Amino acid sequence: MQTFLQRFFFKKLARHLRRPAGWFGEKVGRKMNAANAFLYDTTLDIMQPGNNDRILEIGFGNGKFFDKIFTKAHDLQLTGIDFSEKMLREAQKNNTDSIVSGKLKLHYGSSDNLPFPDNHFDKVFCINVVYFWDPPLPHLQEIHRVLKPGGHFYSVIRSRKSIEQMPFSNYGFIKYEQDEWLTILTGCRYKAAGIKVIKEPEAKLKGKSYPVESWCFVAKKES
Ligand SMILES: C[S@@+](CC[C@H](N)C(=O)[O-])C[C@H]1O[C@@H](n2cnc3c(N)ncnc32)[C@H](O)[C@@H]1O
């Protein structure tokens, strides 16, 4: 049972995980870097960026991981979109050189209205973002539109059991079982290409530890 103060804190944290803002959002952005580094590493291993790939990240937070993506292949063209102004500014500060050289483009906006042409990206990915798509369909349709035929969409979410233990997830998080998210993806014209189970290091929050498992759903836009 949460006290009034705990409820207040976890509601605020949930709001800032969804759309970080102000000084607290900046702090949440840094905490997410530490909490989600393993997830980024594993997702990149699964995604295997190829030379010259055009890749879009949705919900990049403070953009700390773009540098790592650039080490994975040559001549990558990376694009990011996030609907938090604070995160956009932080990510711009964290990636000045890549932006100036033109290999990284960052946009402010929402994934249900993507400012990109049809059939544009080889790969689209998002980590810890799907919980906030209510409903998910307009986002999935937009991603499908901007993917090249044969391109892949990687959506990474914490398992329902894992996210349910985290007290902030009572406030505005949509939680999925594996088959529920898969059904939504395939219902939106994606071909399921695999689900990778990611065993993460334990998460620590307010002195408590939580065992964490995430899933990376690989979905393909048919050629
Ligand atoms: C929980 S954070 C995850 C950040 C990072 N991907 C990570 O795993 O550490 C969610 C991020 O997605 C962004 N976001 C949420 N819904 C979005 C949407 N519909 N379109 C674009 N960005 C969104 C938020 O602003 C925030 O930066």
- CATH assignment at residue 33: 3.40.50.150
Does the C-beta of 214 come closer than 6 Å to ligand 1? no
| 3 state SS of 17 | helix
pLDDT in tens, 111-131: 999 999 999 999 999 999 999
Q: How many structural domains comprise the chain?
A: 1
Does the C-beta of 87 come closer than 6 Å to ligand 1? yes
Q: Measured between alpha carbons, how far is 108 from 173 in angstroms, rounded to an integer?
A: 22
Output the pTM of the full model.
0.96
Print the domain residue range for 28: 4-221
> Are 140 and 204 within 8 A, CB to CB?
no
pLDDT in tens, 149-191: 999 999 999 999 999 999 999 999 999 999 999 999 999 999 9
Which pLDDT belongs to residue 223?
87
- Closest atom of ligand 1 to CA, residue 35: 9
pLDDT in tens, 41-84: 999 999 999 999 999 999 999 999 999 999 999 999 999 999 99
Instruction: For ligand 1, atom 9, name the residue with the nearest CA.
Output: 32
Structural tokens at position 10: 């976890």
Does the C-beta of 49 come closer than 6 Å to ligand 1? no
pLDDT of 202 strictly over 90: no
